[in-house]
Amino acid sequence: MRALGLLFATTILLAISCAAGANGPQDGVGGGGPMPSILFLNLGELNAVVTAAGYPRISEVLFTMGGSGYGGWGDGIRFGGMGANGAVTSTSDERSVRFGIETYGFLVEKATASDSGLTIVLGTILGGGSLDLRLIDRFPDSFEDAVGAPYVASMSKGFYALQPYIAFEARPLSWLATRFQVGFLWALTDPWAFEEIEFSGPPRTLTGLVASLTVQFGGHGGNDEDTPTEEGVQDQPLPESEAPPAEPPSE
């Protein structure tokens, strides 16, 4: 249900961003698209507790998939949002650990276009998300075995996040842009929740690098230099084939 809500919110956001880019000022820009990312997280404290209990180590490299969108000006301030989720599973003998993350946030950024066509963007994401942890002590042999002796512990915790970043954009077409982004995630987490029970546990803070590659679809405003203005059209001479015939000289 949360994933469907995230997808719905992201879709609405992208639609609004595209509309802002298409209907805003002539020098405006807006759009959105898929945003695959790689997270390099610091899970040292969590892995210390998990491995001490005999479970496999959780990978600190995660792949997430989501989307982002924004509206604003090509060389100025932009506003938008993003959302993504992903998970990694580690297995050893009969024990398994699944660690998942879901992030969402509001972004504000400043873009500066260069003469080479490359746009440099500095921005920050303010938002939150959740972490999910599932520990499987053994794999059952049958349905009766799974029901009679369950060995699964599943818990989750929310967090509030700040992610400053730098991005580089190229726009090969007026309606298409590519973007590479590198940011640093810093999050303050809540206690773990197991059904209605809450208890403290690592990580208290979550940090790591985030690298994203985005293909954005949307309009890019601007005056078309090749299209003459109405005043310019009036000043342009008519072709010879359309010019009125010259009046004969008066005697």
For residue 26, what pLDDT is reported? 43
Look up residue 220 and give its DSSP letter. B
pLDDT digits (tens, 9 = 90+) for 53-88: 999 999 999 999 999 988 886 668 999 999 999 999
pTM of the complete model: 0.75
Q: Please tell me whether residue 8 adopts helix, strand or coil conformation.
A: helix
Q: Output 164 or 28, whichever has higher pLDDT.
A: 164
Q: Is 148 left (phi over 0), alpha (psi -120 to 50) or beta?
A: alpha
DSSP per-residue codes, 145-162: HHHHS--EEEEEEEEEEE
Whether the Cβ atoms of residue 78 and residue 71 lie closer than 8 Å to each other = yes
For residue 239, what pLDDT is reported? 55
Q: What is the pLDDT of residue 150?
A: 75
**pLDDT tens digits along 105-127:** 999 999 998 877 899 999 999 99
State the pLDDT at residue 117. Answer: 80
User: Residues with Cβ < 8 Å from 22, sequence gap 6 or more?
Assistant: 30, 218, 219, 221
- Whether residue 250 is predicted with pLDDT greater than 80 in this model: the reply is no
Burial label for 14, CB within 10 Å (0-12, 13-18, 19+), is: buried
Residue 30 CA to residue 221 CA, distance in Å, equals: 9
Q: Would you state the structure tokens that stand for residue 179, as one six-digit string?
A: 């973007």
Q: Which of the four pLDDT bands, split at 50, 70 and 90, describes residue 168? A: very high
Residue 233 has pLDDT above 50, yes or no: no
Q: Report the topology of domain 2-235.
A: Porin (2.40.160)
User: Rounded to whole angstroms, how far apart are CA atoms 39 and 103?
Assistant: 11
Q: Evaluate if residue 1 carries a pLDDT over 50.
A: no
